[in-house]
Structure 1
Amino acid sequence: MPEHTAAADFAALLRELKDRSGLSYGVLAKRLHMSTSTLHRYCNGDAVPADYAPVERLARLCKAHPEELVELHRRWVLADAVRGRKGAAAAETPPEEADSGTGPGQAASEAAPPAEAASAGAPPAAPADADTGAGPAPARRRTRTAVLAGIAVAAVAAGVALAVGLPGGGSDGDGDGGRHRPVGAAGVTAEGTAPASSSPPSAAASPSSPAKGTGPARTPAGSAPAGAPSGEGQKSGVPVTVRAEPYAWESPCSQRYLADKPASEMKPPPLEEGAAAWVAAHGAVSSGQQYLRLTVQGTGPETVVVDGLTVRVAGKRAPLAWNDYAMAYPGVGCGGGVQTRAFAVSLDSARPSLTPEPGNEDFPFKVSESDPEVYYLTASVSAYDVDWYLELKWSSGDRSGTLTVDDEGRPFRTSGNKGRPAYEFPIGGDGWVPEGTTKLE
């Protein structure tokens, strides 16, 4: 989808919600803790928010219906993806081309003479005007680039020669000296299976055998396809991507975290977009329940069927004996409501499984690049401290596979909070106090 179309469609729905609410830009900006000019840029299509959290808060302030929330998230995903591709294309533009207008072919040809000198074993000779400053600026820049390229090639050639002369660098021993073992990102072989001697990067691997087309197990789920190293989605042939947001909030009133710190050492509750950083800073764990938002999108125009999501438990222990901190400020109203594509799971169960919330459909669903889906999962627990992750089963034509979805290479973690000391942060206060002791005026 063209950039202007994706951003314009997203902005159009934002403007529609804003206009319908009857609230001014100034009032909305104040409630969202952002500048009026920033909100103007979002609603005019001049900018796309990097995070979805402020968009969702804006929609809720404007009394958006559940169907509108889903459509708004879909449009934001498309606009954000287009912006990401634009940023990647700009990053791949060679600085020399952007500066001097020199094409790749010219740069390569000018670097060739030093490379030939290096291959002959002699250091490259600097051109006569390399240090004199003679000649036009672009010419001097290209000359310096060619000299540096020649020096680099010479250094690489010397390193190769030294490696060949070292013990074990030849063909004795195991036949390849360990130099021809194809290893990909994060200890995953080029064939897409973990090496026999490598440990999985997180607590546990999937207990089930990989299906045909399954990517490497226990890799992070992000903008690249889950189950494939970052940037390898197209190479792996996986036609679907999964973005997991493990610190999304259904509403501030519902979100709590356990932390092994006294109240005097805890920072005030964050906004939703700051939750991940707040959790990391305090070593906190989702308390009682975890609200997970999954965005599933195809990588091409073909239709991909999402056949189901399976919950896998990687570890189960007694609940954490930590303090329980509520994210809601006492007296502040809470929004929320059941989303479409909403599911629940009890991690206390011996075999946890997802069940659709009332009024929601169950799998399978269809996705493509222009038609993503958003799933909302509420995982609840009271009797255990649970490490868990998800397996997403997909199919497209004669291909199928299973993707592992987790918290950037680690399992999600949710602990029961029954009987734990609970704290809240009063509005206008300067610290946490025991929950229920705040007097509301």
Structure 2
Amino acid sequence: MVDETADFAALIRELKDRSGLSYGVLAKRLHMSTSTLHRYCNGDAVPTEYAPVERFARLCKATPDELVEAHRRWILADGARQRERKAATTTATATSATATAPEVATAAATTPTPETDLPAPSHEPAVPVTAPTPRNRRRTALFAAAAVAVVLAATALVPRLVSGDGGGSDRKQEAGSVTSTGRGTPSSSASAKSSRSPSASASPSGSVSPSGSATAKSRASASPGAKAGGAADVGAAAVPLTVTTRPYAWESPCSQTYLVDRDAAKVPPPPTEQDAPGWVSALGAVSADSQYLELTVQGTGQETVVLQTLNVRVVGSGAPLAWNAYAMGYIGVGCGGGVPTHSFGIGLDAVRPVATPKAGQTGLPYKVSESDPEVLYITAAAASHDVRWYLELGWSSGDRKGVLRIDDQGKPFRTSGMSGRPQYGYSLDDSEWVPHQAD
């Protein structure tokens, strides 16, 4: 067991023991098998997603600081698990190649060679050759003429292939002297080819796309060369950090409401938190009143990356959506929650929205690396507008710097006010949505 996995297992064991709940009770409430929960607590396995870890920690009454620490340790344990898997794949490939080598050697040993496997000369008298007939002579002449034509055609083609119709050598020379003006440094012929590809070209801003369980690499904005008196902007390939975005995280089930353009009878029951992205996508739902984002920022190497700024960009604002509002959670079921560290609030109704640290929280700058990630929590509120927006995270590392765009799979986030809209809560007794005004 690697250290990261052992640290993660130790923390969830501590939470479980302190809660006083049995494995069976916890497993039932988490909708997983008891044996699976045992494996997580013993360090024999690591959950592929963070959602069950968060539900487990909340069931065990973890404090906000413990929730952050659980997330941090899960990130490190998950990274270690992926590295082990890659190492096992590499070892299996090398073993397969080693096992194949003797077969190749055996095959080479049995291949005929001119010196050893030519048939021995025969001492029997040669069979007399019959003189060719006129018909056979004509056929032989035709075959010979065809062979000569093929040889001449191949001979004529070789110079064209070498010279590329006279333009290939010029084009090769031109490619070898290309300078990547977007970086301000000359490139070799190999890097010049890559600089012409779409993936290596500079773009105004990158996009951090969330994935259900996978970490999406961010892209950086790049400007030509180095700015005077400042650090050089870098391209996507050189960005030293990644951001995993959960755009439909819940601070608590009772805190999250979605606007849906459907009657209550046509809306399925509220999902669990990990199923919220699919539920939102299927219904075309929009976060109502506020949207809670969870951003996990981690370096890709040992060097320290400083998170300098977090700016809000609004790309569209209009009247609130005239849809029905559906609260997550269930009527009569209590909800917990707290304010974790590194939390920011955004008032989207403002003319120029700003990400402001919540009361008692420390703001930017923060430092991250591969072994020291940070989790940022964003609460974006909108009461009187339907707002489309995204974030820009400014970073620096040594003499490099850049800006990461953080959005919802390439699209802006969307948050709408719901004042005056019909509100519904889900009743477990009636198994349906019923009119309900949140407390």
Q: What TM-score, normalized by structure 2, do the two folds share?
A: 0.72
Q: Per-residue deviation at 1:271? A: 0.8
Question: 1:332 is matched with which residue?
Answer: 333
Pick from 81, 84, 87 the counterpart of residue 82 of structure 2: 84
Q: Which residue of 2 aligns with 1:356?
A: 357
Task: Give the corresponding residue for 2:276.
Answer: 275
Aligned-partner residue type, residue 364 of structure 1: P
Which digits, 9 at most, give the CA deviation of each residue in 1:276-296, with x for residues without a partner? 111111111111110000000
Gaps of 5+ in 2: 109-156, 179-191, 222-233
**Structure 1 residue 218 and structure 2 residue 207: aligned?**
yes
Distance 1:254 1:183, change over 3 A: farther
1:366 equivalent to 2:388? Answer no
Establish whether residue 306 from structure 1 lines up as the match of residue 321 from structure 2.
Answer: no
Q: Do residues 390 (structure 1) and 379 (structure 2) align?
A: no
Which one-letter code corresponds to 2:217 in the other structure? P
Q: In the aligned structure 2, how far is the partner of 1:183 from the partner of 1:402?
A: 25
Deviation at 1:311, TM superposition (A): 0.9
Q: For 1:384 and 1:188, locate their aligned partners in 2 and report how far apart those are by CA, in whole Å.
A: 41
Q: Cα deviation per residue 1:99-155 (whole Å; 9 max; x = unaligned)? A: 99336x969x99xxxxxxxxxxxxxxxxxxxxxxxxxxxxxxxxxxxxxxxxxxxxx
Aligned residue for 1:16?
14
CA deviation profile, 1:138-183 (whole Å, cap 9, x unmatched)? xxxxxxxxxxxxxxxxxxxxxxx9xx99xxx9979xx89xx99999
Report the AA paired with residue 34 of structure 1. M
Once the 2 structures are TM-superposed, how far is the Cα of residue 388 of structure 1 from its aligned partner? 0.9
| Partner residue, 1:62 | 60
* Corresponding residue number in structure 2 for 1:227: 219
Over 3 Å counting, the alpha-carbon distance change for 1:364 and 1:170 in structure 2 is farther
Structure 2: distance between partners of 1:60 and 1:399: 39
Equivalents in 1 of 2:344, 2:236: separation in Å?
32
Structure 1: segments with no counterpart, 5+ residues? 111-160, 195-209, 211-215
Report deviation, 1:69. 1.3
2:293 maps to what in 1? 292
- Distance (Å, rounded) in 2 between the aligned partners of 1:437 and 1:411: 28
Q: What is the DSSP-based 3-state SS (H/G/I as helix, E as strand, rest coil) of the residue aligned with 1:404? A: strand
Equivalent residue runs for 1:167-246 within 5 Å: 189-194=198-203, 216-218=205-207, 220=209, 223-227=215-219, 236-246=237-247
User: Which of 32, 35, 44 does residue 34 from structure 1 map onto?
Assistant: 32
Partner of 1:130: none
Query: What displacement does 1:218 show?
Result: 3.4
> Structure 1's 366 and 30: CA in aligned 2 closer, same or farther, altered over 3 A?
same
Residues 240-278 of structure 1, C-alpha deviation per residue, up to 9 Å, x if partnerless? 111110111000000011111111111111111111111
Counterpart AA for 1:371? D
Secondary structure of the 1:293 match is: strand
What secondary structure does 1:401 align onto? strand
Letter in structure 1 aligned against 2:200? E
- Residues 41-89 of structure 1 show CA distances to partners (whole Å, capped at 9, x for unaligned) of 1111111112212211211221222221111110001111222334455
Q: For residues 92-131 of structure 1, what are the structure 2 equivalents within 5 Å?
A: 98=96, 101-102=99-100
Counterpart amino acid of residue 253 in structure 1 = C
Give the distance between the partners of 2:217 and 2:200, measured in 1 at CA. Answer: 16
Q: Would the alpha carbon gap of residues 68 and 23 (structure 1) be closer, same or farther in structure 2, given more than 3 Å must change?
A: same
Is the CA contact (8 Å cut-off) linking 2:289 and 2:383 kept in structure 1?
Answer: yes
- Equivalent in the alignment of 2:420: 419
Counterpart for residue 121 of structure 1: none
What is the letter of the counterpart of residue 27 of structure 1? V
| CA–CA separation in structure 2 for the residues paired with 1:276 and 1:337 | 22
Aligned to 2:324: 323
Residue type at the aligned position of 1:302? E
Deviations 1:296-349 (A, max 9, x none): 011111111111211111211221111111102011111111101011001111
Is the Cα–Cα contact under 8 Å of residues 66 and 340 in structure 1 kept in the other structure? yes
Question: Who wins on radius of gyration, i.e. which is larger?
Answer: 2
Rate the CA distance shift 1:9–1:189 in 2: closer, same or farther, 3 A.
Answer: same
Shift of 1:34: 2.0
- Distance, in Å, in 1 between the alignment partners of 2:87 and 2:300 is 17
CA distance in 1, matches of 2:312, 2:238: 24
RMSD: 3.6
- Say if 1:193 and 1:11 are closer, same or farther in 2 by CA, change over 3 A: same
Q: Are the aligned partners of 1:96 and 1:102 in contact in 2 as well (CA < 8 Å)?
A: no
Count of aligned pairs between the two proteins: 353
TM-score, normalising length: structure 1:
0.72
Structure 1 CA distance for aligned equivalents of residues 301 and 99 of structure 2: 33
1:47 corresponds to: 45
Paired with 1:184 and 1:246, the residues of 2 have a C-alpha distance of 33
Query: Mean alpha-carbon deviation: is it higher for 421-430 or for 84-93?
Result: 84-93
Distance, in Å, in 1 between the alignment partners of 2:362 and 2:438 is 42
* Structure 1 residues 382 and 345: CA distance shift in structure 2, 3 A: same
SS at match of 2:311: strand
Q: Distance in 1 between matches of 2:247 and 2:166?
A: 49
Matched position secondary structure for 1:407 = coil
User: Shift of the alpha carbon at 1:235?
Assistant: 7.4
Equivalent position to 1:4, from 2, 9, 30: 2
Does the Cα contact within 8 Å between 1:220 and 1:227 map onto a contact in 2? no
Q: CA contact under 8 A between 1:319 and 1:417: conserved in structure 2?
A: yes
Change (3 A) 1:437 1:341: closer
